[in-house]
Structure formats: structure tokens, C-alpha cells
Amino acid sequence: MLTYEEALARVLAAMPSPKAERISVAEAAGRFLAEAVASPLDLPPFDNSAMDGYAVRAEDVAAASADRPVTLRVLGQVGAGEVFSGAVGAQTCVRLFTGTPLPRGADAVVMQEDTRTTDAQPDEVQILDRARPWENVRLRGEDVKSGKVIALPGTRLGAGHLNLLAAVGTASVRVARRPCVALVATGSELRPPGKPLASGQIHESNRPMLAALLAECGAEARAFPLVPDSLTRTRGALQRAFAECDAVVTTGGASVGKLDFVKAAFAELGGSQEFWKVAIKPGKPFVFGTLAGKHLFGLPGNPVSAFVTFQLLVRPALLRWQGAGEVGLPAHPGTLTEPLVNRGDRRHFVRVRVDAEGRVHSAGTQASHMLHSLAAANGLVEVPPETTLPAGATVRVMRCGGTLA
């Protein structure tokens, strides 16, 4: 049985190098960059006004105040997207708006609130406060210089990245291709949600959960029909899944029971099993293997075990597949409000709920079939074997699931 670190290292080492494709920036949310992007221009691309007001020479208004205003002649008005063709000279100014290019000769902008105009003198404005050189001016290139790298390979593109890329004129980017992952749920007792249940049957809930988790880590999920406990049917389902997808995630059938057929069916297809036990709780029976360059992730059938093993082993693998710079779950310290006890000999990843103040509460009963505590959890805390973490202890919380406080 492998330690968690050994299992994770083997899984990550087996992942292929990312394959890239070019897509439009408008479609790139959540995708991972395959190459660095440098800005082709300065941002801002020209000196411009930071607010509505008047472009002036700072020396002309250095002594202006509400008690002793300075009167300037208004040469004209220019709006955003327009350029003033003349130049600001001594004792003159130009009316302009936020984002307007700064006219030649001007080196400051006086905000509209610090000025006064009259109907009697429409071509004049009184300046009621001084302006320092370059006050209220956005300078060319002060945000981004031409040639500066603005996004690195492995960056997952969020809204802010897309805004920056578009602002510098980037229309398309090269990103890692999304892996297509088959979801195969096994078990004769399973029925789709919405279908009536006969005695002994339950609704299958792993595929919706795993499809959501796959989407969160950038993969494309393809749910296959439910598979009964049959070696022939399991082999057929795996054969089709491997033929149509880049990787296969199964739930159930991965342990040592008489009706657990995933490992046997995988072997009959020529698959090479790398390992199938990991010293963690929940989720010890986890299968990882390779078939014709594609990978099998065999998760336990219990939803909690499937959730935890996905977060700890499958998610990092798929992120590495896409060239992500960071593959671990986001983590932060928190303070326990109650003891967390592990009396077993395996590391226990306990489902917890973190509140807005960083206090860490148990999400509820930790049995692997308890779905309510899974839905309530928004993090995991590792408790070492035969260990009690007391109330008040500072722990490392791995954030996942639920609503993040």
C-alpha cells in the first residue's frame, strides 16, 4: 500500500505533456496558457486624463485657489476617442473627459469639481485649486510597457487576465487542450436520478458530482451509461470509454469483492495497473493504471471516498495534464473549534466547514456514506494516524467543495 505522497508522485509522473490549441480570448475563461504572452503595446497607449476636467499647464495654475482663482481661455472640447489638433499654451486650457488623450503642451488636468464657469464668459473657466505637474494624468505605459510578459505558461485565465489580454489587443491565445474524461459508474444497484427505485436500489449520484469536479479543474466530462456488476459489461464499457476519451474515471468495482470487476476488466483489455491501494481514509481502494497511453482512475463507489480521492489524486493529475503551474488544493491556516480524532492507522482527511472568521468546524459525521456532511463541507483537514487534534489547534485547511466562506 502506497503512502499518499508516493501515489501522487506516480500519478503526476505519468501525465503527458500538454497539447496546445489556439482559441479566441473570448472563449478562454478557465483555460491554461500554453505559452507566455507579451504585450505588443504600452498600456495606456497614450497620456490621458484620469477624470473629467480641463487640461492645463501646471505652471499657469500653481497659485490658484478658491479665494484667488486663475482664469484660463478654453480652446475647445475633446471627448474620448478624439484627439485635440492644437496645443495648450500659456493661460489656455482644453475641456476634456476621462480617457481623453492629453493635448500637446498640457501637463496636468484640473478636475471639473475644482472649476467654475459662467454663461457670460462661455469661453473662459476659473480654476479654483492648483494642479501639480502630471496630476490627474495617466501616463503612457505606466501600467504595462510594450514587450512586458503579462501572462505566464500554466496560468489559468480568469476574468482579470481576459481583460488585460483584450486591453493590449490580443485576440487569441494558445492554451492547453482540455482532456476529455469518461465517467463510468458501476453497480447493479444503481438507478439514474428521477427513476423509480425497486427494493435494494439507490440513485446513482457520483457522475453528477464528478462531472462538476471535472469542470472545476478544466476537463471535459462525458458520462457513460450505468454498468451492472458483470465482467463482460464492465469490459465493454471500459473498451468504449478508452476508445472515445483521453482518460477514464470509474466509480465502484475497484475493491476485492466478488462483484468488483474494474481491475479484471482493465487487465483483460491489456491495461497495466500501477497501484490500487493508498494509505488514506476515506479512499483506500484507488486504482491507477495505463492502457495504450491513456489512464484509468478507479475511484471507490462511496461518494465521500470518490470525492476525496478525486480531490487528492485525480484533480492534480488533470491540472498537470493541462500544464497548470499549481496543482495542489488551495490551503490556508484555520483554528479548530472542536477536536478532530483519528484512531486508525491511515491518514484521515476530515471534512470540515470553515466560517468567515477562519474557524474550522467538523462538517458532521465522517462515515464515507454520509452525504449531508459532504455537501456541508468546504474543506479537508488531514489528521495523522492515531492522533487527536485538540480544539484551538491551528490546522492547514485544504479548500474544496461547498460554498467557500
**315 and 212 inside one domain:** yes
Q: Output the pLDDT for position 257.
A: 79
Do 187 and 311 lie in one domain? The reply is yes
CA 52 to chain centre: 36
Identify whether residues 84 and 99 lie together within a single domain.
yes
Residue 260 has pLDDT above 90, yes or no: no
- What pLDDT digit, counting tens, does each position of 288-323 carry? 999 999 999 999 999 999 999 999 999 999 999 999
Q: Answer for the pair 358, 335: CB distance below 8 angstroms, yes or no.
A: yes
Task: Say whether both 213 and 190 belong to one domain.
Answer: yes
Pick from 347, 339, 330: which is nearest to 396 by CA?
A: 330
Any domain includes 143: no
CA torsion through residues 123, 126, 132, 137, sign:
negative
Q: Does residue 287 sit in helix, strand or coil? A: strand
Q: Which sign does the torsion angle of CA 356, 360, 364, 369 carry?
A: positive
Q: What is the pLDDT of residue 402?
A: 60
How confident is the model at residue 13, as a pLDDT? 97
Provide the domain count of the chain. Answer: 4
Range of the domain at 369: 331-399
Q: Is the pLDDT at 405 greater than 80, yes or no?
A: no
Q: Once rounded to an integer, what is the mean pLDDT over residues 254-276?
A: 92
Query: What's the mean pLDDT in 358-381?
Result: 92
Where residue 341 sits, what CATH number does that domain have? Answer: 2.40.340.10
Tally of CB atoms within 10 A around 243: 10
For residues 207 and 161, membership in a common domain is answered with: no
Among residues 279, 307, 329, the alpha carbon closest in space to that of 374 is found at 307
Task: Give residue 132's identity as a one-letter amino acid code.
Answer: R
Query: What distances in angstroms separate CA 139 from CA 42, 43, 133, 340, 355, one per listed residue?
Result: 10, 9, 12, 55, 43
8 A C-beta contact, residue 234 and residue 253:
yes
Give residue for cell 490658484. 64
Average pLDDT, whole number, for the chain?
A: 96
pLDDT value of position 80: 85
Sign of CA dihedral 274, 280, 285, 288: negative
Residue 258 has a pLDDT of 82
* Residue 403, pLDDT score: 52
Domain end among 158, 176, 194: 176
pLDDT, one tens digit per residue, over 114-127 is 999 988 899 999 99
pLDDT of 404 above 60? no
Measured over all CA atoms, what is the biggest interatomic distance in the chain, rounded to whole angstroms?
Answer: 97
Q: Are 221 and 259 in contact (CB under 8 A)?
A: no
256 and 272 within one domain: yes
Does 326 map to a domain? no
Helices (H), 68-205: 159-167
Percent of the chain residues topping a pLDDT of 90 = 93
How many whole angstroms separate alpha carbon 130 and alpha carbon 57?
10
Confirm whether 356 is domain-assigned. Answer: yes
Calculate the CA dihedral of residues 164, 166, 168, 171 and round it to 10 degrees: 140
Same domain membership, residue 192 and residue 168: no
8 A C-beta contact, residue 371 and residue 205 = yes
Who contacts 199 (Cβ-Cβ below 8 Å, separation ≥6)? none
CATH at 255: 3.40.980.10
For range 36-44, the mean pLDDT: 98
CATH number at residue 80: 2.170.190.11
CA–CA gap between residue 397 and residue 96 (Å, rounded):
52
Long-range CB contacts (within 8 A, 24+) of 356-365 = 356/405, 358/332, 358/333, 358/334, 359/334, 359/335, 360/334, 360/335, 360/336, 360/395, 360/397, 361/337, 362/338
Length of the chain: 405
Residue found by looking up cell 496636468 in the block: 108
Is residue 312 domain-shared with residue 218, that is, in the same domain? yes
Domain end, chosen from 271, 296, 321, is at 321
Q: Does residue 404 fall inside a structural domain?
A: no
| Entry pTM | 0.89
Residue 219 lies in a domain: yes
* Model pLDDT, residue 3: 97
Distance CA 151, CA 166 (A): 12
pLDDT in tens, 128-172: 999 999 999 999 999 999 999 999 999 999 999 999 999 999 999
295 with 198, same domain: the answer is yes
Residue 133 falls inside a structural domain: yes
Same domain, 81 and 134: yes
Q: Which of 274, 295, 321 is the last residue of a domain?
A: 321
Quick one: 371 and 281 in the same domain? no
Strand, coil or helix: 346: coil
pLDDT in tens, 171-225: 999 999 999 999 999 999 999 999 999 999 999 999 999 999 999 999 999 999 9
Whether residue 36 is found in the same domain as residue 172: yes
- Sign, Cα dihedral of 391, 392, 398, 404: positive
State pLDDT tens for residues 341-364. 999 999 999 999 999 999 999 999
